Amino acid sequence: MIFYYPKVMPALTELFDHMSRFVPVSAEDKQVLTDLVEVRSVRKKEHLLSPGEICHANYFVKKGCLRMYFIKDNGLEHTLQFALENWWITDFMSLENRKPTNMYLQAVEPAEVVVLTKTNMDILSGQVPQMERYLRLIAERAFAASLFRMQYFFELSVESRYEQFNRRFPEFVQRIPQYMLAGFLGFTPEVLSKIRSKKRAGARKKLG
């Protein structure tokens, strides 16, 4: 005997739960959505998108962690966004204008994602107004977060940027490699290493 999950009922509970935090979601809405998305697993370090390609979908992270990054001339990576559980991630610039991206979209950890293609989103747009609203609110949040991050860059030194981030997202700092965090916060891995060693020295002194 073979067990399988029929296409009409993949595990979208995380997505529905998340939506419910922002908008009411009816049973019919769920059905329409279910028919228009696909769940997919991504291996660690696997790329969902690479420079030169056109981004066709928006991804909702059910489990694991994705990131969007690019590579500078000097070889250093800079992560523009991370997406942990319950975050959406995509390159809107490429998605909306159907232009080639210059970004990588990669799984930092083994991940499960809900894939919503642009085509299907356009269909949903007419059929499920609450989805539209949900995505508007999500986009506005993401924008606000991005400006907030910008503010951090303007007003904080490299060291306090790390401290703030570490304070706000301690679990996060545990989950990702240091060189990714360094790139995300806008500096080199060496600097992060030195900051951490300084902190450790300070901590030892206190214990002394």
Partner DNA sequence: CGCGACGTTGATTTGCCTCAACGATTGTGG
Partner DNA sequence: CCACAATCGTTGAGGCAAATCAACGTCGCG
Query: Which chain residues interact with its own copies by CB under 8 A?
Result: 70, 72-73, 78, 80-81, 91-93, 96, 125, 129, 132-133, 135-137, 139-144, 146-151, 153-155, 183, 186
Cα separation of 119 and 20, whole Å?
24
Q: Which is nearer to its own copies, 81 or 106 (CB)?
A: 81
Task: Pick one of DNA, its own copies, none as the site partner of residue 38 (Cβ within 5 to 8 A by kind).
Answer: none
* Closest CB 206 distance from its own copies, rounded Å: 27
* Closest CB 22 distance from DNA, rounded Å: 35
Can you give the binding site for DNA, defined by CB under 7 A? 74, 76, 157-159, 177-179, 186-194, 196-197
For residue 100, give the DSSP letter. B
Contacts 24+ apart (CB under 8 A), 52-55: 52/100, 52/101, 52/102, 53/94, 53/100, 53/101, 54/94, 54/98, 54/99, 54/100, 54/101, 55/90, 55/91, 55/94, 55/95, 55/101, 55/105
Query: Directed axis angle between helix 189-207 and helix 178-185, to 10°?
Result: 110
* Closest CB 41 distance from DNA, rounded Å: 17
Alpha-carbon torsion (121, 126, 127, 133), positive or negative: positive
* Closest CB 78 distance from its own copies, rounded Å: 4
Q: Which is nearer to its own copies, 142 or 191 (CB)?
A: 142
Task: Pick one of DNA, its own copies, none as the site partner of residue 70 (Cβ within 5 to 8 A by kind).
Answer: its own copies
